[in-house]
Structure 1
Amino acid sequence: MLAPPRDETRSGSRALFVVCAATLLVLMNYTAPVAVLPETARSLGAGLTTQTWLINAITLGLAATLLVAGSLGDDFGRRRVFRIGLALLAVSTAATAVAPNAGTFIAARVVQGVAGAAILAAGLGLLGHAFHTGAGRAHATARWASMLGAGIAIGPLASAALAAVGSWRWFYVILAALAAVLALAGGPLLEESRAARAARVDVPGVLTLGAGLALLLVAVTTGRTGWLRPATLVPLALAAVLLAAFVAVQARGRAPMLDLALFRRVDFRIATLGALFTGLAALGPSTVLPTLVQRLIGVSALGAAGLAFVWAGASFVVSNQMRRLGTRVAPARQLALGFALTAVGYVTMLGYADARSWLRTIPGLLLSGAGSGLLNAALARMAVASVPADRVAMGSGANNTARYVGAALGVAASITAASSMLPDGQSAGFSAHGADAVLLLGAALAILGIVVALGSFTARSPRRS
């Protein structure tokens, strides 16, 4: 009943296929190291602190450039930015495949994050242009959101399977080839779109935001070794200064990258805060969970990837089904329900490490995965609907920036929680009590997410769905 109109199906089906395929590759790549982190670290000679960067480096590239990529896509062409992102993904992924040491791998992962930012921001912007009715956008954004879950599900499983039969490097060889093929064959299937205004680069905005977010993530990542150390405090202070400068530049600029007036709109505020808490509560703890299961219970890399598949598979199924419900469910209500399922799922898993039972995680993974699916579908829809039609890529960039900044903060907080409750005599590593602390932290953040979502019910409703 809520399939997109026929004219939108004809004009948007090719865009939907290409954008969804590229999004799948980005998310597969994003989560690939999670299940094979021990093997990757040994091969690259990475210590415990450096291992955090093996996971978080791509988040740095994503978060620092998503808003920039969205703004450039609106002004200079969304298809152009999208194709550049695919080409950059192919090259940087090939570099990770042949990386001789941890430094090279981390640098390549940062570039992969930049490429992913261009694909995600411009891709969702292309869908916002191709599907302009409420039903069409609900259909397209639900499909796009389901690719987030699918990529998270397939990435760790594929990398673990290839590592088991050969090497962790094979995953990146194959993904680089797929990205190159999609860049060459998929680009001509897309129609160019851009904002009807003079194209101009907000150079001060690009520099202050990119540098500020990069320094923030550096501080968050190094914080697990001590929050009062100069290596953490100095980048944190510089990040605060640069992000304050970014806000000042946007408030006074003639063509700002981010229109701060959008924050006066309830739907935009809820979408942005909802994305931040999705990263904090859903992505952060779930990214750390496979490593904890491996180290505390002794599950193999393939088994840990299988658990990640359960969580992300539930996310994929639920996101995909939201295309059938379409505009019948308010996005803010979806957010509240998604956060509630996430919290309940985490509480259900409490005690799994102490009992040394991976089976105890299955019900919680299904519940929290379903919650993630609701969150992804609602946020994709709100990111497009909460901004003017000529700024859809910027809306996508702002929403995904909040999501991946939240994810980086969530990963760092989860690792800190997991290693903060060690038994007497143990100076490093993780404990069963730490595993429960991660789940309780995630549940608390999800409850705060419910509060954020429900805040929209006391204000005016979103004007568009």
Structure 2
Amino acid sequence: MLALVVASTFWSMVAYAGPLGNAVTLSAALDASAAGTTWVLASMSVGLAVTLLAAGVVADALGRARVFALGAMVFAGANVVCAVVGSTWPFVVARVVVGLGAAGMIATGLGLLAAADGDGRHRSTSAVWWSAAMGAGIALGPLLTGVLDLAGAWRWFYVGLALAGTLLYALAGRVLPVEPAAERARRLDLVGFTLLTAFLALLVTAIVQVRAGGPMLAAVLLGGSVLLLVALGLSQRRPQRLVDPGIFTHRPFLGATIAGLGTGLGIIAASSFLCTVLVRAVGLSTFQAAGVLAAWSGTSALAALALVRHGPRIPGRVQLTAGLVGVAVGLVLLAGVGDPVSAWRFVPGLVVCGCASGLLNAGLARQAVATVPGGLAATGTAANNTARYLGAAVGISVASVTAGTDLLAGWNRVALLAAACSLLAALAVAWLSRGERAPGVAGARTGTWRTAAE
């Protein structure tokens, strides 16, 4: 089961990061406009951000194994479409659906592992492997598309992803246990589910539209998302709700969620913008830029693996705080570049960010499950990752506005702003962790969790 969950995370991240390695070729092949190119690169992020939380809620209500298998099937089918379409918007829609399928696997994987083995040390080890798979997938995706691009075979990337999704679906039926109905959290709140999905869809679309150059449409979409958020809040006053509201008053859960948000606003947003800087200001190809960024993502995977033995001894809250502070230090090292600049100038800061990210991602995976009751493990994982991808969407949009026309000077501002976001998130996690006695295991595991009803 651990191997299956790790493989699903790895292939999801390969799919997520892949277009960074051949963005120019992909844009030309699909005849994409500037706005279309923005959507091509952002489409899977949109699918993940919009559906992760909903997938987690559905999984806790209807069964995690079912949602995992369905996610793998959707992932495979949507990648087949990506491999055969020849224009921008069908490709964008298919990539959004790829994100939906990946969300089904990401939201449920750690919850399935937690349900199978409640030992805290084993959960921590599982989180380390999950984190390593995430870093390795982000590192390999752009390199793989870059190599295929050199051979003029970019469509085979999506064929490979479809085959991987098919294999994951086949193995899910053999490996994953179907949870008894008694273990599921509650009946699904269809009204709340619909409003939540619609709210996130409008919000994320508005954020991406800012980058695509449509401020009026973005404002309309943002206004609609606010109305849907109000409606969602009103709907949760009914007896049947999406989740127990007590989860949002639980400090360790809030700390883990803020850490996820800080990760998106910080290192993920900065590294995504750095790819543009390396191509347009430094003069690298997208493939070469992906190789430079691997100093971050690859180091992250190696750092996570180094925690397999010692990670369980480090409290989860310490992993989050130290990881965020380390990322902030690395981002400061990445700032201060001038013209001309060599690509090697960025490597030391990326390595520091990678080491810190390995610790941070392992802590996020661990705390996402440990800070909620066992019946809401998928919801906890989904909430954490939703915060991460929403933070990334906001951070990348802010970076594009902050940078201006001088990319190198703009990069310095972006790096420092991302460092500030990481540091603020670290301070918030430290403040919310005051008085927490059980290292890495929140009240949901120690008996101090209290629902609103209690």
Which TM class, normalised by the smaller chain length?
Answer: over 0.9
Letter in 1 for 2:27: A
My pick for the range that moved more, 195-204 or 404-413, is 195-204
**Displacement of 1:226:** 5.9
Pairing 1:154–2:140 present = yes
Q: Is the 8 A contact 1:34 1:291 kept in 2?
A: no
Pairing 1:414–2:390 present = no
**Displacement of 1:185:** 3.1
Q: Is the 8 A contact 2:255 2:433 kept in 1?
A: no
**Displacement of 1:459:** 4.5
Question: How many correspondences in the alignment?
Answer: 440
Structure-2 change in CA distance of 1:331 and 1:287 (3 Å): same
**Residues 309-366 of structure 1, C-alpha deviations (whole Å, 9 max, x = no match):** 2111111112222232233212121112111111111121224462321000110110
In structure 2, distance between residues paired with 1:29 and 1:214: 20
Q: Is the 8 A contact 1:352 1:358 kept in 2?
A: no
Structure 1 residue ranges without an equivalent (≥5): 1-14, 424-430
Q: Which residue of 2 aligns with 1:88?
A: 74
Choose the corresponding residue for 2:218, options 222, 232, 237: 232
Q: Which residue of 2 aligns with 1:129?
A: 115
Q: Which residue of 1 aligns with 2:61?
A: 75
Pairing 1:365–2:350 present = yes
In structure 1, distance between residues paired with 2:223 and 2:37: 24
In structure 1, distance between residues paired with 2:396 and 2:323: 19
In structure 2, distance between residues paired with 1:248 and 1:405: 23
Letter in 2 for 1:93: N
Choose the corresponding residue for 2:289, options 276, 289, 304: 304
Structure-2 change in CA distance of 1:353 and 1:73 (3 Å): farther
Q: Which residue of 1 aligns with 2:416?
A: 440
Between the aligned residues of both structures, percent identity stands at: 37
**Displacement of 1:199:** 5.1
In structure 2, distance between residues paired with 1:89 and 1:224: 26
My pick for the range that moved more, 32-41 or 254-263, is 254-263
Structure 2 residue ranges without an equivalent (≥5): 447-454
Q: Which residue of 2 aligns with 1:180?
A: 166
Structure-2 change in CA distance of 1:146 and 1:253 (3 Å): farther
Structure-2 change in CA distance of 1:197 and 1:186 (3 Å): closer
Q: Which residue of 2 aligns with 1:10?
A: none
In structure 1, distance between residues paired with 2:218 and 2:307: 41
Structure-2 change in CA distance of 1:285 and 1:178 (3 Å): same
How do residues 277-356 of structure 1 correspond to structure 2 at under 5 angstroms?
A: 277-352=262-337, 354-356=339-341
Q: Which residue of 1 aligns with 2:44?
A: 58
Q: Is the 8 A contact 1:159 1:168 kept in 2?
A: yes
Q: Which residue of 2 aligns with 1:428?
A: none
Choose the corresponding residue for 2:192, options 205, 217, 222: 205
Letter in 2 for 1:157: L
Tell me the TM-score normalized by structure 1. Answer: 0.90
In structure 2, distance between residues paired with 1:90 and 1:381: 28
Tell me the TM-score normalized by structure 2. Answer: 0.93
Pairing 1:394–2:379 present = yes
Q: Which residue of 2 aligns with 1:246?
A: 232
Q: Is the 8 A contact 1:266 1:460 kept in 2?
A: no
**Displacement of 1:460:** 3.7
My pick for the range that moved more, 213-222 or 199-208, is 199-208
Q: Which residue of 2 aligns with 1:450?
A: 426
Pairing 1:385–2:370 present = yes
**Displacement of 1:413:** 1.6
**Displacement of 1:197:** 4.8
Pairing 1:223–2:205 present = no
In structure 1, distance between residues paired with 2:289 and 2:309: 32
Letter in 1 for 2:204: L
**Residues 263-313 of structure 1, C-alpha deviations (whole Å, 9 max, x = no match):** 221111101111111111121111222222011111122211111221111
Structure-2 change in CA distance of 1:443 and 1:100 (3 Å): same
Q: Is the 8 A contact 2:82 2:95 kept in 1?
A: yes
Q: Is the 8 A contact 2:65 2:172 kept in 1?
A: no
In structure 2, distance between residues paired with 1:380 and 1:26: 15
Q: Is the 8 A contact 2:63 2:184 kept in 1?
A: no
Q: Is the 8 A contact 1:68 1:257 kept in 2?
A: no
Letter in 2 for 1:372: S
Letter in 1 for 2:326: L
In structure 2, distance between residues paired with 1:395 and 1:342: 23
Pairing 1:403–2:379 present = no
Q: Is the 8 A contact 1:156 1:308 kept in 2?
A: no
